[in-house]
């Protein structure tokens, strides 16, 4: 059978490993590029995963978090802001569209395989479930599995946390930071992403904020003026119901 060729590249794009890896079907050979992170000093994903593999309950929790919370939490947040906060909505919509669109372009032109496809890592989702990449589920049929960098899981989680902190005045709003923290743990320990994938997602968010520039600052200033921070209520609508 035809084999897909996986080429691992270090950061200067010199070949590190070439190998045939499993049947792909037909006569096609697919080259998948992965970044080597040793030169950045952050190639600790494997050791972090190994330290947690002895705790299957934690692994299953992170698997579920990775598979279930990402899309649902992001969509619920967007609906919430759209319905309750039209002034904040324009700002959040711009960030989501800009970050997601840029990430998809990178995924298209520079596909990168996740660490779970490499030797030395454990595909925890394949081992413990839920089975989302087996080809039978909708995710498995539609998802681009060679879209490791940047991590939209982490990028969206950061945007949700950012939006919640902006939208609410209560001190409890800071608990939302647990969402990107849990997401970061999930994407690395399940071997679906490298640390660098999360870093690049953060860079895209910073770039989107900078791109919006003065428009973003004016929108947020107006939002803050209409709803003083001293109020412990949701800062979303001019009219209270």
Per-residue confidence (pLDDT) for residue 43, from 0 to 100: 74
Q: What is the pLDDT of residues 1-50, one digit of tens each?
A: 322 333 333 333 333 333 334 333 333 333 334 444 444 556 788 899 99
Three-state SS sequence of the chain: CCEEEEEEECCCCCEEEEEEEEECCCCCCCCEEEECCHHHCCCCHHHHHHHHCCCHHHHHHHHHHHHHHHHHHHHHHHHHHHHHCHHHHHHHHHHHHHHHHHHHHHHHHCCECCHHHCCCCCCHHHHHCCCCCCCCCHHHHHCCCCECCCCHHHHHHHHHHHHHHHHECCHHHHHHHHHHHHHHHHHHHCCCCCHHHHHHHHHHHHHHHHHHHHHHHHHHHHHHHHCCCCCCCECCCCCCC
Q: What is the pLDDT of residues 203-224, one digit of tens each?
A: 999 999 998 876 656 655 665 5
Positions of the chain with pLDDT under 50:
1-39, 228-234, 238-241
Per-residue confidence (pLDDT) for residue 175, from 0 to 100: 94
Per-residue confidence (pLDDT) for residue 197, from 0 to 100: 93
Per-residue confidence (pLDDT) for residue 20, from 0 to 100: 33
Per-residue confidence (pLDDT) for residue 61, from 0 to 100: 94
Per-residue confidence (pLDDT) for residue 12, from 0 to 100: 31
**pTM (2 decimals)?**
0.74
Per-residue confidence (pLDDT) for residue 51, from 0 to 100: 93
Per-residue confidence (pLDDT) for residue 40, from 0 to 100: 54
């Amino acid at each position: 059978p035809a084999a897909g060729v996986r080429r691992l590249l270090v950061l200067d794009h010199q070949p590190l490993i070439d190998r045939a890896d499993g049947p792909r079907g037909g006569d096609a050979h697919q080259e998948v590029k992965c970044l080597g992170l040793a030169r950045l000093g952050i190639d600790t994903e494997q050791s972090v995963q190994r330290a947690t593999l002895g705790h299957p309950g934690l692994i299953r929790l992170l698997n579920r978090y990775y598979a279930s919370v990402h899309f649902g939490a992001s969509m619920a947040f967007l609906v919430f802001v759209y319905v309750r906060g039209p002034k904040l909505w324009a700002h959040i919509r711009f960030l989501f569209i800009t970050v997601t669109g840029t990430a998809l372009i990178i995924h298209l032109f520079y596909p990168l395989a996740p660490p779970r496809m490499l030797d030395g890592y454990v595909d925890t989702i394949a081992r413990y479930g839920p089975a989302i990449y087996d080809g039978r589920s909708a995710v498995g049929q539609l998802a681009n599995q060679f879209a490791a960098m940047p991590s939209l899981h982490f990028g969206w989680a950061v945007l949700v946390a950012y939006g919640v902190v902006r939208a609410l005045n209560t001190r409890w709003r800071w608990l939302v930071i647990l969402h990107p923290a849990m997401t970061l743990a999930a994407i690395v320990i399940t071997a679906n992403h490298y640390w660098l994938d999360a870093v690049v997602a953060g860079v895209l968010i910073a770039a989107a904020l900078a791109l919006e520039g003065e428009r973003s600052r004016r929108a947020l200033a107006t939002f803050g003026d209409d709803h003083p921070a001293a109020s412990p209520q949701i800062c979303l609508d001019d009219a209270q119901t």
